[in-house]
Structure 1
């Protein structure tokens, strides 16, 4: 049994930082297995956060320069991680950071040049996991469902609460998944108005009250009426959501409280729509799972028929990095890591481009 030793790198739409997870991953005759051996998170500086946030507005030449310099930066972080903990690494699987996601136009772009990353870290790199699926007519997202299927298939639903909320589940022998809508992206946008990176545990949100007009406007967004497969990115947030938040005059506490009710309304709607059976299990990971008010609100809206389950803090925070490590292993073995049942592509495929250090 071969054990792959992989570092998964993940930078999400919530813009809170870079997650690194050193994982051992293996396949037996019965199932895939994993162990998260070491983790590290690096918070983005205010300057880096702003640069990432505004990267969608950069001219092409400046964006490509940033693509290269960000790749070098990723390589430095990976090299320091390897050196600090004395890690034996087969490969690095990097998600990069999504700047443009327009699958309807055949376009998705994650910055973080694989070649620069490989050269700086002196390690084989696999990245650019979305492009091939989009070239096959798919959404290129969400990608985490392959990990849900192979690692966490015992749960009825797997919910990830990153910048965006997405869900996956089995139906008629196929994995289905899609972006539900908002999660930490709107919450962090609101807290940054008072120079706070995030609302720890949802403590501010818990003291607020619902702003009904804002809630109705959010719940009425066109995206929620679209059939899946579907996905969203930062462009959608800037265009559709930010104007609603910015034109709502209310306290930070009320804005946060309302946003959480909106997030939970949409999740509960999808869970109740997709499965009719009782005693459902909803496995929740991502930074939003650490927001206790959000989790309490979600359990209340789902009722007794669905049990909301959150795992260890390590798995909550590093599940996406773990899944990209798995995607790197699957690419290395030329096994499918993009599911057409999820993305709407012409066929299942294995995405990822391999870069060797030089």
Structure 2
């Protein structure tokens, strides 16, 4: 058995901050048997300036874009360095891996870009830094997403179906099938800010609970073209802003009614995806009720979760209980795992999930400016 300690970083499309998670992984490199233990984790919130820079980065000129890419690389590096110092992890951490912040994702044109210059980040760290996990898969004809099912396959073996309710809701089925389901917190957080200036999100879904479903908006949401595509498939922010946000007309409709409608939409699409997953598992789990693990910021939205539970439990699915730390940091945890596998030289992105021509060892490795002896040198090979 081998043991590695790494840090994973995740910045989601909802722009709520940088999730940083230090994890110890224990397992057998040559098998599927891996376990994990979260040592420390926290979310480093973006201030107003960073929120605006990230929101507008895709519209910048080339020169200004490069500047933001460098600055965000430094932001990640300094954030992780402070996290390591704060939790006294300097002699434990062997590597850091970061998803980066997605700005461009259009796999049909061979494009996937996550903000944050890896070489710049590496200048702040004392251990190898791994980033840019999507580009290779996209070049191999894949979607470059979702990547989380790889970690689910190895680390969440007791869950048949994994759903993440982030800016975009996605699903993984036993680490073999995965895709983006629908827009989630991108819509809900946007509408919450419209309901109350300065409100980052609808706490517990209380605003949505007091609204009414708007049938014509619900119908428009259900009929967007993306839902007609077969998996593997992935959503991206540009598509959502072009095809979904115009439906959420806050001048025409009451905002709390739009929130209620979007909550209903997310719940129904998640339930539909879970039912399809259940049917695909029927032969593998004869007579057993499939288990569903739900994580991500949306899992803390009580009203949304009530709607999802009601719709999927009636279908014979069992929603697993999960601690809040896993809810909040599962994706950052998994990117640490993907970084570890990259450093070990074993596949961490699978064609079954992304639709690529083959599995790949994905991620770019950036060495620190000075490289002291590591606790376990096998990560260097």
Is the TM value for this pair above 0.5?
A: yes
What whole-Å deviation, never above 9, does each CA across 1:201-251 have from its counterpart, x for those lacking one? 111111111011111111111001110110011111111111111366222
Whole-angstrom CA distance in 2 between matches of 1:75 and 1:310: 34
* Superposition pairs of residues 213-224 of structure 1, within 5 angstroms: 213-224=216-227
Cα deviations by residue, 1:13-47 (Å, 9 ceiling, x for unpaired): 11110000011112136610110000111111122
1:112 equivalent to 2:116? Answer yes
Alpha-carbon distance in 1 for matches of 2:303, 2:121: 38
TM-score under structure 1 length normalisation: 0.96
The aligned counterpart of 1:288 is 298
Residue matched to 1:192: 193
Equivalenced residues, count: 355
| Partner residue in 2 for 1:140 | 144
RMSD over aligned Cα, in angstroms? 1.4
1:301 to 311, 314, 318: 311
2:70 counterpart SS class? helix
Cα distance in structure 1, aligned partners of 2:277 and 2:24: 34
1:179-202: per-residue Cα shift (whole Å, max 9, x none)?
Answer: 011111100111111221001111
Find the aligned partners of 1:310 and 1:52 in 2 and give their Cα distance.
34
Shift of residue 125, structure 1, vs aligned partner: 0.3
Give distance in 1, aligned partners of 2:73 and 2:126. Answer: 13
Residue of structure 1 aligned with 2:34, choices 29, 32, 35: 32
Partner of 1:242: 245
Larger displacement relative to structure 2 (339-348 or 294-303): 294-303
Corresponding position: 1:157 with 2:157: no
Would you say 1:311 and 2:322 are equivalent positions? yes
User: 1:270-299: per-residue Cα shift (whole Å, max 9, x none)?
Assistant: 222232346222110111111111111011
- Does the CA contact (< 8 Å) of 1:289 and 1:310 recur in 2? no
Question: 2:366 maps to which residue?
Answer: 355
> Contact between 2:313 and 2:319, CA under 8 Å: does it hold in 1?
no
What's the counterpart of residue 260 of structure 1?
263
Q: Distance in 1 between matches of 2:140 and 2:257?
A: 43
Instruction: Tell whether the 8 Å contact from 1:177 to 1:342 is kept in structure 2 after alignment.
Output: yes
- Compare 303-312 and 232-241 and name the one that shifted more: 303-312
1:272 aligns with 2:275: yes
Q: Does 1:91 align with 2:95?
A: yes
Paired with 1:25 and 1:99, the residues of 2 have a C-alpha distance of 30
Task: Give the gaps of 5 or more residues in structure 2.
Answer: 283-287, 370-381
- What TM-score do the two structures reach when normalised by structure 2? 0.90
Task: Report if aligned partners of 2:168, 2:184 keep a CA contact under 8 Å in 1.
Answer: yes
The equivalent of 1:205 in structure 2 is 208
Stretch deviating more after TM superposition (266-275 or 289-298): 266-275
Aligned to 1:72: 74
